Structure 1
Amino acid sequence: MWDAERLRIATDAAGIALWSWNVDTDEIALDERAHKLWGVRRDGPVTFEELSRRIHPADLERVRKTFQSTRTMAGPYEIDFRVLHNDAVRFISARGQGDDIGIVGRIMFGVFLDVTERKQAEEAREMLAGEMSHRVKNLFSIASALTSIAARSAATTTEMARDLTQRLTALGRAHDLARPAPGQTAEKAALLGDLLAALLAPYSDDAAASGRVRVSVPEVRVGGTSATTLALVVHELATNSIKYGALSVASGTLDVRCTAQDGEMVVVWTEQGGPPVTAPMDTIGYGSKLVTRSMSGQLGGAITFDWPASGMVATLRMSKARLAV
Structure 2
Amino acid sequence: MTTELPTGHEWQPQHLRLAVTAAGVALWAWNVDTDLLTMDARGFQLWGMPWSDKVTFEELSSHIHPADRDRVRAAFAATRAVLGDYETDFRILIGDEVRWIAARGQGEDVGIVGRTMFGVFLDVTGRKQAEEGHELLAGEMSHRVKNLLAIASGLTTITSRSANTTQDMAVELIGRLTALGRAHDLVRPLSNGQGVAALLGDLISILLAPYDDLGAFKGRIRVAVERTGVGETAATGIALVLHELATNSMKYGALSEQTGTLDITSTTEADQILLTWLERGGPSVGAPDGPAGFGSQLVNRTVSGQLGGSISFDWSEGGLIVTLRINRDRLAL
- What residue number does 1:147 align with? 156
* CA positional deviation for 1:64: 0.8
What is the identity, as a one-letter code, of the residue corresponding to 1:21? W
**8 Å Cα contact 2:81-2:108 kept in structure 1:** yes
Given candidates 293, 303, 325, the residue that maps to 1:254 is 303
**8 Å Cα contact 1:20-1:108 kept in structure 2:** yes
User: CA distance change for structure 1 residues 152 and 313 in 2, over 3 Å: closer, same or farther?
Assistant: farther
| Mapped partners of 2:59, 2:207: distance in 1 | 54
**8 Å Cα contact 1:253-1:272 kept in structure 2:** no
User: CA distance change for structure 1 residues 192 and 175 in 2, over 3 Å: closer, same or farther?
Assistant: closer
- What residue number does 2:281 align with? none
- Number of aligned residues: 233
Does 1:44 pair with 2:87?
no
- What residue number does 1:129 align with? 138
> Where does the alignment leave 5 or more consecutive residues of structure 2 unmatched?
1-9, 190-197, 210-222, 240-294, 312-325
| Mapped partners of 1:130, 1:238: distance in 2 | 24
- Secondary structure of the 2:86 match is strand
| Mapped partners of 1:248, 1:21: distance in 2 | 73
Given candidates 187, 192, 214, the residue that maps to 2:200 is 192
- What residue number does 2:329 align with? 315
- What residue number does 2:308 align with? 270
**Alignment TM-score, normalising by the size of structure 2:** 0.61
Q: Which runs of structure 2 are paired with 1:153-172 in the superposition (5 Å)?
A: 153-172=162-181
Seq. identity, %: 56
| Mapped partners of 2:41, 2:116: distance in 1 | 19
> Where does the alignment leave 5 or more consecutive residues of structure 1 unmatched?
181-189, 202-216, 240-246, 257-267, 274-311, 319-325
**8 Å Cα contact 1:200-1:238 kept in structure 2:** no
Q: Which runs of structure 2 are paired with 1:207-286 in the superposition (5 Å)?
A: 219-221=225-227, 230-235=230-235, 250=298, 252-254=301-303, 269-271=307-309
**Alignment TM-score, normalising by the size of structure 1:** 0.63
* CA positional deviation for 1:135: 1.6
1:283-317 deviation per Cα after TM superposition (whole angstroms, max 9, x unaligned): xxxxxxxxxxxxxxxxxxxxxxxxxxxxx967158
Of the two, which has the highest radius of gyration?
2
* CA positional deviation for 1:128: 1.3
- Secondary structure of the 1:100 match is coil
User: CA distance change for structure 1 residues 62 and 170 in 2, over 3 Å: closer, same or farther?
Assistant: same
User: CA distance change for structure 1 residues 192 and 34 in 2, over 3 Å: closer, same or farther?
Assistant: same
User: CA distance change for structure 1 residues 122 and 4 in 2, over 3 Å: closer, same or farther?
Assistant: same
Q: Which runs of 4+ in 1 moved over 4 A?
A: 196-201, 235-239, 247-251
